[in-house]
């Protein structure tokens, strides 16, 4: 069965590259959101199998978006993978208390993304 992935990133080129990589490497349905607010609405309606969530976004950042996703009974069971350019070891400690399935570093390899997500979800 085909998976549904929601990509949340405020940078249009990052969303486009991730979407293209996933569509080329898998038969998954890819949804995109450019903000935390948009992501919450899309996740509520579409209930994706996994959410790729950018940590650094204006207005509602990844942490705030994650908290709202986990607080909502409809979306709290959806695995969330944080995507961040801040993947230093000191930052990784601050991610350990977050309810995320994994943390992926930017820049990521678009054609490897489906494989990496599958490994996390297994």
The pLDDT assigned to 97 comes to 76
Q: Looking at residue 17, which CATH number applies to its domain?
A: 3.40.50.2300
Instruction: State how many domains the chain has.
Output: 1
- Whether the full predicted model's pTM is greater than 0.85, yes or no, is yes
- Cα–Cα distance for residue pair 51/49, rounded to 1 Å: 7
Q: Which ranges of the chain have pLDDT less than 70?
A: 1, 86-95
Those residues with Cβ within 8 angstroms of residue 111's Cβ, 6 or more apart along the chain or in another chain: 21, 24, 25
- Cα–Cα distance for residue pair 61/4, rounded to 1 Å: 22
Range of the domain at 32: 4-121
Cβ burial of 108 (10 Å; 0-12, 13-18, 19+) is middle
The pLDDT assigned to 85 comes to 82
The pLDDT assigned to 88 comes to 57
- Cα–Cα distance for residue pair 113/20, rounded to 1 Å: 10
């Amino acid at each position: 069965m085909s998976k549904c992935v929601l990509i949340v990133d405020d940078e249009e080129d990052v969303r486009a590259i991730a979407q293209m990589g996933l569509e080329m490497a898998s038969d998954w349905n890819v949804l995109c959101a450019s903000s935390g607010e948009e992501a919450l609405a899309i996740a509520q309606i579409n209930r994706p199998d996994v959410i790729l969530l950018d940590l650094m976004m204006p207005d509602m950042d990844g942490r705030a978006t994650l908290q709202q996703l986990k607080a909502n009974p409809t979306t709290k069971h959806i695995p969330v993978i944080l995507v961040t350019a801040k993947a230093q070891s000191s930052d990784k400690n601050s991610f350990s208390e977050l309810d995320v399935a994994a943390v992926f570093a930017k820049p990521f390899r678009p054609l490897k993304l489906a494989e990496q997500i599958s490994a996390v979800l297994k």
